Amino acid sequence: MSITRRQKRVSSLIKEELSRLLIEEFQDSFSGLITVTRVEMTADLKTAHVYLSIYGAEQQDSVFSLLDEKKGHLRKSIASKVKLKYNPMLIFSKDLGPEYEARIDSILEDIKKNGK
């Protein structure tokens, strides 16, 4: 399945708006930094898979539970700014990419220190 230009454009718009909303409304609630790393849209543009990276927050599960509670408010706010035929359903997931990158970096550092 290839991603269409429309899917890329809509995911970019949702990512920008959601990032702004998280900074304005949720950043003060947590001691950590919430970052929207990517948004992937389904082919029908009715569902947005939002991948988040959370730095510094002790209880990341509480962040995701709060976002799930506020999903309706976030959808409504996005709909008021991004004009689409359908207001996409939001599915929040943790982006494991930064953790994998840090692990790979530490393995490479160990290899450098210990030789081959």
- The pLDDT value recorded for residue 28 is 67
Q: Which superfamily, per CATH, for 5-114?
A: K homology (KH) domain (3.30.300.20)
Q: What does DSSP assign to residue 82?
A: S
- The pLDDT value recorded for residue 9 is 92
Residue range 14-67, pLDDT digits in tens: 999 999 998 888 776 666 788 899 999 999 999 999 999 887 767 777 888 888
User: The sheet that has 89-94: what strands, in order across it?
Assistant: 33-41, 47-55, 89-94
User: What rounded mean pLDDT belongs to the chain?
Assistant: 85
Residue 1 has pLDDT above 70, yes or no: no
pTM for the model stands at 0.80
Report residue 37 as tokens.
């790393």
The full set of domain ranges for the chain reads 5-114
Report residue 74 as tokens.
């976030």
